[in-house]
Amino acid sequence: MTEPGLTLDERRAQQAVHARERAAHLASRDQRAPRRSVEELHAVATAAEKRFARSDTDEVLAWVAEEFGDRTAVACSMADAVLPHVVAAHLPWVDTLFLDTGYHFAETLGTRDAVEASMRLTIVDVKPPLSVIEQDTEHGAKLYQRDPGLCCDLRKVQPLHDSLQGYEAWITGVRRDEGPTRASTPFVSWDDKNRLVKINPLAAWTFDELLAYAEEHDVIVNPLVSDGYPSIGCSPCTRRVAPGEDPRAGRWAGLDKTECGLHS
């Protein structure tokens, strides 16, 4: 992280150092070993799911760094930068995938830029093949209202699937306390849809623990979080929630949809 209290010149100097370190990371990443077969990765996931059933965040991430190294990607929605911050302690300059759907809040894009400028991460923007205008032309305007399943598939699920194929493991910020659909989230599992190992190092964290970590470590948090948005997705499909309401109640409110399909 950029240290608080730095002058503008000191910030620029630190960003120049980051740019050099990121370039060195990218050059070394190009030399990495070939991706293992799906069968090998499946066996690794099956053994690890049992081994880490009662583990903790640091133990799991230490294993991830040793087992997968630069073949690891982190998915980050830019609701906050806690997950990449925790991961980067074990894997500096880890690839951090941001699903650039074209429908994000300005605050989310600002958070993405602030994270890239200040943290030892490699942000990878994952873009859908169609721009919003091209999608409107092909499928009609406001597809998210008429068929949000298809819209999420086109703008999130398929682009993420395609971008994950060069990795052996991906890390998500899914937590058990986010709602009934996530209550049994394991630390490690096999992701059959994307054909790689899935790691959920924050599975046992609560929302309050996440916020406490962000405060203690001065980690960037999307300003919408303190404005009534504990869960942040695309702007047309996310509303504020009332105090005490299910944190994910603001996602696709009024529709028979609770997940974008990335984790189901």
Q: CB 209: neighbour CB atoms within 10 A? A: 14
Query: Which string of x and - marks every residue 27-66 that binds ligand SF4 (by CB under 6 A)?
Result: ----------------------------------------
Minimum CB distance to ligand SF4, residue 207 (Å): 20
Please identify every residue annotated as catalytic.
260
Terminal CA-CA length for the chain? 32
Identified binder of ligand SF4 from the candidate list 15, 35, 103, 207, rule CB under 6 A: 103
Residue whose CB is less far from ligand SF4, 94 or 225: 225
Q: CB 104: neighbour CB atoms within 10 A? A: 21
Q: Is 127 exposed, middle or buried (0-12, 13-18, 19+ CB in 10 A)?
A: middle
Identified binder of ligand SF4 from the candidate list 60, 174, 234, 262, rule CB under 6 A: 234
Q: Give the helix ranges, DSSP H, for 99-240.
A: 106-118, 132-139, 143-146, 148-152, 158-164, 207-216
Nearest CA-CA partner of 73 in 135, 162, 164, 153: 164
Identified binder of ligand SF4 from the candidate list 41, 82, 151, 224, rule CB under 6 A: 151
The residue range among 10-18, 19-27, 148-156, 170-178 that interacts with ligand SF4, by the rule CB under 6 A, is 148-156
Residue whose CB is less far from ligand SF4, 44 or 99: 99
The CA distance from 118 to 125, in Å, is 17
Contacting positions for ligand SF4 (CB under 6 A): 101, 103, 144, 148, 151-152, 155-156, 233-234, 236-237, 260
